[in-house]
């Protein structure tokens, strides 16, 4: 059920850009052009996840835990997730049971992304596309995140409390999510008959987060494929290039992505993430369409 986890991750990622971006006064002034992903400076959140439903004439059931650590308004963030899922299917009278255990760790560091593969014992390093584009084009992270949710059919329906925190409640295709200052505290999704509920069991904000919480395993690091930009966006991030030039190049890159065919996009994704080869074209097409929607939101920024 990797495709369900990928869809859930995509929705959480979009929601994580729902905080306001740059403030012009006081402590929130971001003259260094860093994104403010959340409306809270730091946080430690622990979640539990339950999965249940019917699929392929059988049943699926699972559970898991996740920990979120962030500081600098979300510019630096680490998520670690452990889960176990059992699928029972009946194919032509033959019963089969499959149990999958996953352990993932993902880190963001000012636009740079790190994904840990515990099976292969390797860390994949790359540039987070959404964050890089927003930084280069000058797009407001909060507005972009909520515009994207709306483009997917999302609608804010009110406010409810989770762990005592007053959250915005958003209705999205297939479910609902609860956001506290841009941080997802709960999400309830029902996709293809499988219901996934992820809910915070504890949350602390504006606290000191130890550096040890952002440490990655001592695995070798491999850089992800940069075939679509030839390293141009990396150069823009690393070098002392004027902001107007960065914005122009960011817009040009987004136009290139907007004109990218599904087949070329599919090749790029599968080159960067081998697991994507196990995802159906239908699911990849849905993600591609979401990417195109994102490009439309940004292209005139």
Residue 166 maps to which CATH number? 2.50.20.10
Sign of the four-CA dihedral 141, 145, 147, 151: positive
Q: Is residue 278 part of a domain?
A: no
Q: Is residue 252 part of a domain?
A: no
Q: Is residue 282 part of a domain?
A: no
Q: Is residue 254 part of a domain?
A: no
**pLDDT value at position 51?**
93
Strand partners, 86: 61, 99
| Between 82 and 246, the higher pLDDT residue | 82
Q: Round to whole Å and give the CA distance between 195 and 79.
A: 22
**pLDDT value at position 227?**
34
Residue-wise pLDDT tens digits, 102-127: 999 999 998 889 999 998 899 999 87
The total number of structural domains that make up the chain: 1
**pLDDT value at position 128?**
72
Count CB neighbours of 271 within 10 A: 14
Answer yes or no: are the C-beta atoms of 231 and 131 closer than 8 Å: no
| Between 157 and 22, the higher pLDDT residue | 157
* pLDDT class of 269 with cuts at 50, 70, 90: confident
Q: Round to whole Å and give the CA distance between 232 and 170.
A: 36
Q: Is residue 149 part of a domain?
A: yes
**pLDDT value at position 291?**
67
* pLDDT class of 138 with cuts at 50, 70, 90: low
User: Which of these ranges, 85-89, 189-193, 268-272, 294-298, has the smallest mean pLDDT?
Assistant: 294-298
88: three-class secondary structure by DSSP: strand
Q: Is residue 280 part of a domain?
A: no
Q: Long-range contacts for 61-65 (Cβ within 8 Å, ≥24 apart)?
A: 61/85, 61/86, 62/1, 62/86, 64/102
Q: Is residue 91 part of a domain?
A: yes
**pLDDT value at position 136?**
56
Residue-wise pLDDT tens digits, 39-59: 999 999 999 999 999 876 789
Q: Which domain holds residue 37?
A: 2-224
- The mean pLDDT value for 147-157 works out to 81
* pLDDT class of 181 with cuts at 50, 70, 90: very high
- The mean pLDDT value for 82-91 works out to 87
* pLDDT class of 1 with cuts at 50, 70, 90: very low
Q: Is residue 249 part of a domain?
A: no
Whole-number average pLDDT of the chain: 76
**pLDDT value at position 115?**
92
């Amino acid at each position: 059920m990797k495709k369900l986890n990928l869809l859930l991750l995509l929705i959480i990622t979009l929601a994580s850009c729902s905080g306001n971006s740059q403030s012009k006064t006081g402590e929130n002034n971001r003259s260094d052009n860093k994104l403010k992903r959340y409306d809270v400076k730091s946080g430690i959140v622990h979640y539990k996840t339950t999965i249940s439903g019917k699929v392929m004439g059988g049943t699926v059931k699972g559970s898991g835990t996740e920990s979120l650590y962030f500081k600098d308004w979300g510019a630096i963030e680490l998520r670690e997730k452990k889960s176990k899922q059992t699928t029972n299917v009946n194919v032509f009278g033959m019963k089969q049971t499959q149990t999958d255990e996953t352990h993932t760790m993902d880190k963001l560091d000012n636009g740079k992304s790190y994904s840990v593969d515990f099976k292969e014992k390797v860390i994949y390093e790359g540039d987070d596309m959404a964050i890089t584009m927003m930084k280069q084009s000058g797009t407001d992270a909060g507005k972009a995140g909520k515009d994207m949710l709306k483009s997917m059919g999302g609608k804010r329906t009110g406010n409810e409390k989770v762990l005592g925190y007053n959250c915005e409640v958003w209705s999205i295709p297939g479910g609902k999510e609860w956001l506290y200052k841009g941080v997802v505290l709960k999400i309830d999704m029902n996709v293809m008959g499988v219901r996934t509920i992820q809910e915070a069991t504890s949350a602390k904000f504006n606290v000191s987060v130890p550096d040890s919480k952002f440490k990655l395993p001592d695995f070798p690091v491999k850089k992800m494929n940069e075939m679509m930009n030839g390293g141009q966006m990396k150069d823009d991030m690393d070098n002392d290039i004027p902001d107007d030039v960065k914005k122009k190049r960011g817009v040009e890159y987004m136009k290139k992505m907007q004109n990218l065919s599904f087949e070329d996009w599919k090749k790029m994704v599968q080159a960067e993430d081998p697991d994507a080869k196990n995802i159906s074209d239908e699911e990849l097409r849905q993600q591609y369409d979401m990417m195109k929607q994102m490009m439309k939101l940004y292209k005139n920024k």
